């Protein structure tokens, strides 16, 4: 019995994970079905656009610039061992657009947006505001979830696009100012190297990560336990789930786009 109990624990965890995936899929399906049926809450959508898109710009921009700069330094240092430091612009472009741009933005959105959505909705839940919405003939999913998910679907790809550009600019600044690259050649190499598929994959990842981040915030908020502890737990779970799912989805999407 004692020998079997780790197995049982593993089984329980696996079953728990599958149940979770099932619940999330159902929640996602419900969100989509509410998205395509009226009423649509335009004001809430505009507020969400501002909160998720506009207000995330500073943190996304800074993250991208520093990541691009660090990447250029690393590739230069690593490349010089094989005497291929000239590939810095190409590798920075590839690394930022295909992987680091979307992933860093996705994780920053999980930190910034998922946590605040989860805490807000969980607080609404424990203070009976969700119940109040229902009694006022307003479906919480239409009023709270749909505007946020739609806003992220639209703005996070834009944020990723901006993050890609700023990441490349970070690499450019470091390369030109401290690694002695020629500005014109650097930009030319970057632009000639990036292909349309790179950009498409980057933006598609952004859309997927945006949906994951907002959906996790809403789902964990709506299913919050009672009291302050419930809110804390919901917030923590939402960020964990969003971060892990973002990285898992990134792996899947990279596989889909780049193994042909």
We find the least distance from the C-beta atom of residue 130 to another protein, in angstroms, to be 9
Asked whether 202 and 97 are in contact (CB, 8 A), the reply is: yes
Span of 8-16, 76-84, 131-139, 151-159 interacting with another protein by CB under 8 A? 131-139
If you search the block for the tokens 């703005």, which residue do you land on? 155
Instruction: Decide if residue 1 touches another protein (CB under 8 A).
Output: no
Would you give the end-to-end CA distance of the chain in angstroms? 48
Residue 4 CA: distances (Å) to CA of 1, 11, 16: 5, 11, 18
Burial zone of 174 (CB within 10 Å; 0-12 exposed, 13-18 middle, 19+ buried): buried
We find the least distance from the C-beta atom of residue 158 to another protein, in angstroms, to be 25
Q: Is 3 helix (H, G, I), strand (E, B) or coil?
A: coil
Within 216-245, the residues that bind another protein by CB under 8 A are none
We find the least distance from the C-beta atom of residue 140 to another protein, in angstroms, to be 11
Residue number with CB closer to another protein (70 or 126) = 126
Instruction: Decide if residue 134 touches another protein (CB under 8 A).
Output: yes
Instruction: Decide if residue 137 touches another protein (CB under 8 A).
Output: yes
Among 28, 41, 45, 66, binds another protein (CB under 8 A): 41
Residue number with CB closer to another protein (39 or 78) = 39
Residue 195 CA: distances (Å) to CA of 61, 94, 143, 203: 23, 9, 39, 13
Instruction: Decide if residue 116 touches another protein (CB under 8 A).
Output: no
Query: Total number of residues binding another protein (CB under 8 A)?
Result: 15
Q: Is the dihedral of CA 254, 81, 63, 237 positive or negative?
A: positive
Closest to 174 in 3D by CA, of 164, 160, 190, 186:
186
Instruction: Decide if residue 129 touches another protein (CB under 8 A).
Output: yes
Report the distance separating Cα 145 and Cα 214, nearest Å: 8
Residue number with CB closer to another protein (133 or 153) = 133
Q: How many residues does the chain have?
A: 260
Instruction: Decide if residue 48 touches another protein (CB under 8 A).
Output: no
We find the least distance from the C-beta atom of residue 10 to another protein, in angstroms, to be 27
Among 8, 14, 132, 252, binds another protein (CB under 8 A): 132
Instruction: Decide if residue 193 touches another protein (CB under 8 A).
Output: no
Instruction: Decide if residue 30 touches another protein (CB under 8 A).
Output: no
Among 11, 22, 29, 39, binds another protein (CB under 8 A): 39
Among 71, 117, 118, 124, binds another protein (CB under 8 A): 124
What are the helix (H) ranges across the chain?
5-35, 42-48, 57-80, 88-94, 101-109, 115-126, 129-135, 140, 146-178, 183-193, 196-222, 227-258
Q: Which residues bind another protein (CB under 8 A)?
A: 39, 41, 120, 124, 127-129, 131-138
């Amino acid at each position: 019995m004692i020998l079997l109990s780790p197995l049982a624990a593993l089984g329980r965890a696996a079953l728990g994970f599958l149940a979770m995936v099932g619940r999330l899929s159902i929640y996602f399906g419900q969100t989509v079905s509410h998205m395509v049926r009226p009423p649509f809450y335009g004001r809430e959508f505009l507020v969400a656009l501002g909160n998720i898109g506009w207000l995330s710009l500073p943190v996304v921009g800074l993250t991208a610039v520093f990541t691009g700069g660090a990447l250029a330094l690393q590739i230069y240092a690593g490349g010089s061992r094989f005497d291929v430091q000239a590939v810095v612009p190409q590798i920075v472009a590839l690394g930022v657009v295909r992987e680091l741009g979307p992933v860093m933005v996705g994780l920053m959105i999980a930190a910034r947006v998922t946590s605040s959505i989860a805490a807000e909705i969980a607080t609404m839940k424990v203070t009976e505001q969700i119940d109040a919405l229902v009694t006022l003939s307003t479906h919480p999913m239409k009023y709270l979830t749909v505007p946020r998910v739609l806003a992220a679907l639209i703005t996070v790809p834009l944020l990723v696009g901006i993050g890609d550009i700023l990441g490349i600019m970070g690499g450019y600044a470091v390369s030109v100012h401290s690694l002695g690259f020629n500005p014109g050649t650097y930009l030319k190499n970057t632009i000639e190297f990036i292909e349309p598929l790179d950009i498409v994959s980057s933006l598609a990842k952004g859309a997927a990560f945006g949906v994951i981040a907002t959906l996790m915030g809403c789902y964990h908020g709506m299913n919050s336990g009672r009291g302050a502890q419930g809110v804390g737990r919901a917030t923590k779970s939402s960020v964990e789930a969003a971060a892990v799912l973002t990285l898992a989805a990134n792996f899947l999407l990279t596989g889909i786009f780049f193994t042909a």
